Structure formats: structure tokens, C-alpha cells
Structure 1
């Protein structure tokens, strides 16, 4: 067993902060709003977990989406708090299921239904191009795939875009479509108002 050393904090004034880019705007690299799984591991859940238990777990962890894996940790889909809404549970119960019987596998969006953004194209894009390409996307998360390795490389959250651009948007209701309207169309409306004045 090793002995640990303790030091007084009396004379310590500074904190270490992660390296960040201060002036992120819509022309900044799209990578500035990308969560790369090579540096921040994916948040995963097994498909056999009870769906009602997952709701509580996600709220406790303050996450809105998890990647669903099988027992071998192979990617099989995604599940978000929207997929676990009370309305979804009520519909399933109306179809004859018991709430306690519903598993993540029953409510997730399977990988066959999903489209992911190419990591190569993301590397060469800015936030404006990313938002424009997602202007009709009503979801909050976008998977990014590394086509060379055929693996999910990371995820982009509309909430991260909102935070990085410091938009006045309620992240509880944000989506890529709403973020696009706020960031791009909102800027154009703001520019028109400035020209009028």
C-alpha cells in the first residue's frame, strides 16, 4: 500500500480549466461542437435494461440520449428521453404491455433506422454548414461515423451547439431545426433590424 500526500489549499487561488476556444461562432469548425468518443467515452446502455428504470437513470445522470449496445458492446441503436416520454409508455400500455415489461430494446431507435454524419465531412465543415444540413432535423442528437473504421466516432448535440454559440434557447426543447432557426435565421432577422435602424 502506498502513502498519499496531502497539501493545504490555504495559498491556492487558481483552478485548472480545460482548453477551450473562446470565440466560437457559426463560422467556427464543426469539430468545436463535436463530442469525440476517442477523448470522451460514449454513454451506453444495454438493450435488456428496463425502460422505466432507464428514465430515472438518465435524469439522475443529466443525459438526454444513450447509445444502446448488446451484451457484446456492439452498437444496435439509440434511445433518448423523447423515446421514453410518458406518452410513449401510455401508448405501449394501451397496446397490452405492462410498464415493468418494457425494455430499452422495445423503445429504442434501431441502427437500421438511423443516419449518421460522416466524420470526414464534419472535419471539413463549419457550424453554419452543419446547422444548415440539419435544418429539418427535429432530434437533439446526431451520430457521427468514422467511415474508415466503420465505427460510431462520436455525437453532436443540439444543446452543445446552443451552449457553444451562447444562444438564448431553452435546451429542454431544443432540436437541430430549432437551433438552426435561432442561430442562422435569428441572425438574419437581427441583421435586418440593424439595417432598418
Structure 2
């Protein structure tokens, strides 16, 4: 066993802070709002988890989306809190499913139905271009594919963009890319603060 050294905080006045770029604007690199799975572990779930249990787990973890993977961690799709809404459960029950028997795989969006952005194009883009290209995306998350090794490299969250740009939008609720684009076009159309080069 290793021995730890302890010290008093009586004479400590300062905090350590991360190096954060303060002037994030629409012309900032899109990589600034990218969550890279090479540095942050993805949130995973197995397809056989009960959907109602998964919804509770995600709410407790404050997570809005998980990647669905099989037992070998092969990507199958994504499931978000939007996919696990009461409306989604009602729809499936109306189709003959029993609510308590619905699984993540029943409510997930399959990888065949997901359009992702390439890491290379994202790395050559700015935040504004990313948002405009996603103006019809009604989801909060956009997957990023690394075509060099054909893997899910990470994701971009509309809520992360809101936080980075310091927009006056409540991130306690889900913000889709479409909603974000609409807000930028109308409420922030003339904002010089967001036009930081």
C-alpha cells in the first residue's frame, strides 16, 4: 500500500484553473465544441437494458445520450432521453409492446439511420458552419466519425455549443441543433460578441 501525504489548507488562497480560451465565437474552430473519445470515455449502454430503467439511469447520471454497443463494444446505435420520452413509450405500447418489456434496442436510433460528420471536415470547420449545416437536425447530439480508422471518434452537443458561446439558453432542457440555429438567426443575429475571429 502507498502512503499519502496530507497537508492543511489553512494557508491556501488560490485555486488551480484550466486553460480555457475565453474568446469563443462563431468563427472559432468547431473542434472547440467537440468531445473527443480519445480523451473522454464514451457513455455506453447494452441493447438489452430495459428502456424504462435506462431512462431513470440517464436522468440520475445527468446524461442525455448513450451509445448502444454489443458485448464486443461494437457500435449499434444511440439512445437519447428524447428517444425514451413518454410519447415514445406510448407509441410502442400502442403498437403492441408491453412497456416494462421494452429494451434500449427497441427505442434506440440504429446506426443505419444516423448521419454523422467526418472528423476531418469538422477539424476544418468553424462553429458557425457546423450549426448552419445542422439547421434541420432535431437532435441535440451529432456523432463524429474518424474515417482513417472507421470509428466513432466523438460527438458534438448543441448544449456544449450553448455553454461555450455563453448564450442565454437554459441547458437544463435539451437544445437541438435546429433550435440553436433558429435562436442564433433571430436573437443573436447582430451579436458582435459571437463574431470573434
Report the counterpart of residue 103 of structure 2 in structure 1: 103
Q: Could you report, residue by residue, the CA deviation over 1:39-67 in whole angstroms, capped at 9, with x for unpaired residues?
A: 11111111111111111110011011011
Report the counterpart of residue 41 of structure 2 in structure 1: 41
How much has 1:189 moved relative to structure 2?
Answer: 5.3
CA-atom RMSD in angstroms: 1.4
How much has 1:183 moved relative to structure 2?
Answer: 2.4
Report the counterpart of residue 169 of structure 1 in structure 2: 169
CA distance in 1, matches of 2:178, 2:15: 37
Distance of aligned partners of 1:190 and 1:146 in 2 relative to their CA distance in 1, 3 Å threshold: closer
1:55 matched to 2:85? The reply is no
Within a 5 Å distance, the mapping from 1:1-197 to structure 2 comes to 1-171=1-171, 172-188=173-189
Q: Which has the higher contact order (CA 8 A, sep 6+)?
A: 2
How much has 1:13 moved relative to structure 2?
Answer: 1.8
CA distance in 1, matches of 2:168, 2:120: 30
CA distance in 2, matches of 1:35, 1:116: 14
CA distance in 1, matches of 2:186, 2:31: 22
How much has 1:3 moved relative to structure 2?
Answer: 1.8
Q: 5+ residue gaps in structure 1?
A: 192-197
Structure (1/2) with the larger helix percentage: 1
